[in-house]
Structure 1
Amino acid sequence: MKNYILSFVIFFTIQSFNAQNSKVIDFEFKDISGIGKEEGVMRRDPSDVIKIDNLYYVWYSKGKIATGYDATIWYATSKDGYDWEEQGIALDKGKEGTWEGASVFTPNILIAKKKYYLFYTGVSKPYKKGTKGYRPDSKIGVAVAKSPNGPWKRCKDNPVIFNGKNKEDFDSHLIDDACLITRDGKYYLYYKGRQLGKSPKFTQMGVAIADKPQGPYVKYENNPVIKGNHEVVVYPLGKGVGAMIGKVGPENIVRSLQYSEDGFNFSKTHSVITPPHAAGLYRPEAFTDSGKGELFEWGVQIGKGKKGTLPFIQRVNRVDVE
């Protein structure tokens, strides 16, 4: 018993030391043109940013209400990451009554085998403005194109990830927010899940892995890999995987950057003063499998204005504090 107590004390002493000595970063938030604030228009859930030739691309949910539960997926391009030009719709809702018939949202992008794979979340239950107690039945699908400008064709095996089958599974209620990297010749799809009967504050993060970009994706047997986080933000960092944790989750991991050598077991490396809201990052090594990924410099997020302002897209820049 004494040895157990001693080990317990040593463990938490080390954890406390690491927390006190981790590096600190912050972010500056900048308004952008083209996909920023617009009366009566909602833009949210930006994808990670990619660069093709001389243009940056970003995809996002667009609609007329604040939530993503009545949206379609649009995209925009930019030469500098500040001045954006909206190009149009990328993916519409699925057929009425299907798993994606009510909304498609939270897009993200994967480049693989000279093609582009647009991952997205779909729900079948219609959402009405002002609805209380709405319970989304989300799943994750993918569409493919030969160009980032489309046209996008839904993969025949959609959805590629379903809710957990057992009530005790961390993702038995919903899954959402795909974020992808290429690693060891495989495709790692990180996502968030919530258990039946749990509130959003108990959202956790899992991963599924595939040999092919369109799947099938197999969930990691020891999910969840991060015991919190309402927003999925991962990036290649050296030979491992970095993750940014927002404001939702256990106190010991919120507002932090985490690192994992194997992509499954994460520990804190940085404290974050003001984390972005549902960020999409520019990650130039995300799909190269090069082992040379560096800490991100910038990205985009969901911006929030005064009360009554619909969500919009903002630029975020990393600031090193110490």
Structure 2
Amino acid sequence: MKRHKVDDSENELYTRFRYQPITGLGYEPGVNRRDPSTIIKANKKYYIWYTRNECTQSSWLDADIWYATSDDGIDWHEQGAAVVRGAPGSWDEYSVFTTEILVAEGKYYLCYQAKKNNDPLNVVGMAWAESPDGPWQKLDDPILTPTPDGKLINPTEHGDSNWGAATEIGSWDSGALHDPGIIKFNGKYYLYYKGHAIGEKMFTDSKWGVAIADKPEGPYIRHPANPVSNSGHETWVFPWKTGMAAIVDWAGPEKGTIQYSEDGVNFDIVTTLEDIPPAGGAYVADKFLDNKDGQGFSWGLAHYGGSDWTFLVGFTCDLTREGDKDLGWHNFPHYSTIRDVLKDPEKFGLKRNNLFKGC
């Protein structure tokens, strides 16, 4: 009880998420869209960037980065490619994906994962533009690469994404750098990223690190306290009051939490959450102001990956410092539900249209 500071219903960083369809980026056979970026507003429109491919083997590899715009955050219009794969033999020849936007110093920056053919390691690349509509200019080299240790059994035989086949386990971020996102904080640029070690399991052992630079383009120096989180599948940080809040979703012993840090490095659990948006990208109006007065957010997009083609959905929440929270029990029937029953009710002798008759 000494650790019990406040009930979740009274916790300022507690919320429940509500989902709804959007147009223009929804389910479309033949097209995968996933991993949406933070949403920004420019030219009186909302902008979002995301991974897109038309591949039946993977929804995130063999991909390019596209963007879309919207007047209201619900009806989206796909505009085309923003950053595409590099020339044969380049470090980004196979895929550019899982991107995040940064607005700084009068320019727009996209940081993203990149892969070369038959190489299990991922690097972080960057492109910049004078306008959110581009054209985008890639930096010649990655801004962050894996820690160079650990030994794969045979890199050419495990070339797409399997860095678990190893004769020697490497550092926590030796295998791949995923989900990069840059935010200005305390006058510097904090690049958060997810890391995997060579020789460890593919998804369940992910951790977060941070690298810091004086300029958006780098050079980025890893913080000595890394990893700064022992959990989380996608990195998701936003300004909150004078510090930084982090939504730590699936994977790891502290999954399903919101954590807070005054310095952007040392995070403490504040509350737990349910049904967190997968790879959520929120509209955070003050994300790039670095004004020590973070207000939070109330809506965004996420991806749904449980179907044959991945697509984007909208969500709303109550992660703002002002206003009432919608925590009505009847709107969120989590307790006493079993997800296996929700997924396949017929297996348990229950008709799908009877699932929520008691709610």
Query: What TM-score bracket applies, with the shorter chain setting the length?
Result: 0.7 to 0.9
8 Å contact from structure 1 (residues 125, 137) kept in 2: no
Give secondary structure in 1 for the equivalent of 2:24: coil
Give secondary structure in 2 for the equivalent of 1:25: coil
- Aligned equivalent of 2:24: 34
Pick from 182, 186, 206: which aligns with 2:184?
182
Residue 317 (structure 2) pairs with residue 318 (structure 1):
yes
- What do residues 139-189 of structure 1 show as CA deviations (whole Å, max 9, x unaligned)? 001011100000001113x20000012334210100011112111111111
8 Å contact from structure 2 (residues 92, 114) kept in 1: yes
Which structure has the greater CA radius of gyration? Answer: 2
CA distance in 1, matches of 2:174, 2:275: 30
Structure 1 gap ranges (5+): 1-12, 127-134
- Aligned equivalent of 1:204: 207
- Aligned equivalent of 1:77: 69
Structure 2 gap ranges (5+): 151-169, 319-324, 329-359
Instruction: Please report how far the alpha carbon of residue 125 of structure 1 lies from its aligned counterpart in structure 2 after TM superposition.
Output: 2.4
Pick from 89, 114, 137: which aligns with 2:81?
89
- Aligned equivalent of 2:167: none
Return closer, same or farther for 1:220/1:313 CA change in 2, 3 Å cut-off: same
Give secondary structure in 2 for the equivalent of 1:26: coil
- What do residues 254-295 of structure 1 show as CA deviations (whole Å, max 9, x unaligned)? 111110011011111222111110111111111111111122
Q: Say how many residue pairs are matched.
A: 296
- Aligned equivalent of 2:135: 151
8 Å contact from structure 2 (residues 111, 182) kept in 1: no
8 Å contact from structure 1 (residues 191, 206) kept in 2: yes
TM-score of the aligned structures, taking structure 2 as reference length: 0.79
Q: What pairs with 1:1-322 in structure 2 (closer than 5 Å)? A: 14-15=2-3, 17=4, 23=11, 24-65=14-55, 66-125=58-117, 136-156=120-140, 158-167=141-150, 168-199=170-201, 200-250=203-253, 253-304=254-305, 307-308=307-308, 310-319=309-318, 320=325, 321=327
8 Å contact from structure 1 (residues 25, 271) kept in 2: no
Letter in 1 for 2:195: G
- What do residues 68-122 of structure 1 show as CA deviations (whole Å, max 9, x unaligned)? 1110010000111100000111011011122111000001111111111111110
CA distance in 1, matches of 2:227, 2:305: 29
Of structures 1 and 2, the one with the larger relative CO (CA 8 A, separation 6+) is 1
TM-score of the aligned structures, taking structure 1 as reference length: 0.88
Letter in 1 for 2:173: D
Give secondary structure in 2 for the equivalent of 1:160: coil
Letter in 2 for 1:44: R
CA distance in 1, matches of 2:286, 2:223: 23
Return closer, same or farther for 1:71/1:78 CA change in 2, 3 Å cut-off: same
Alpha carbon RMSD of aligned pairs, Å? Answer: 1.7
Instruction: Please report how far the alpha carbon of residue 37 of structure 1 lies from its aligned counterpart in structure 2 after TM superposition.
Output: 0.8
Aligned-residue sequence identity (percent) comes to 39
Give secondary structure in 2 for the equivalent of 1:295: strand
Instruction: Please report how far the alpha carbon of residue 245 of structure 1 lies from its aligned counterpart in structure 2 after TM superposition.
Output: 1.0
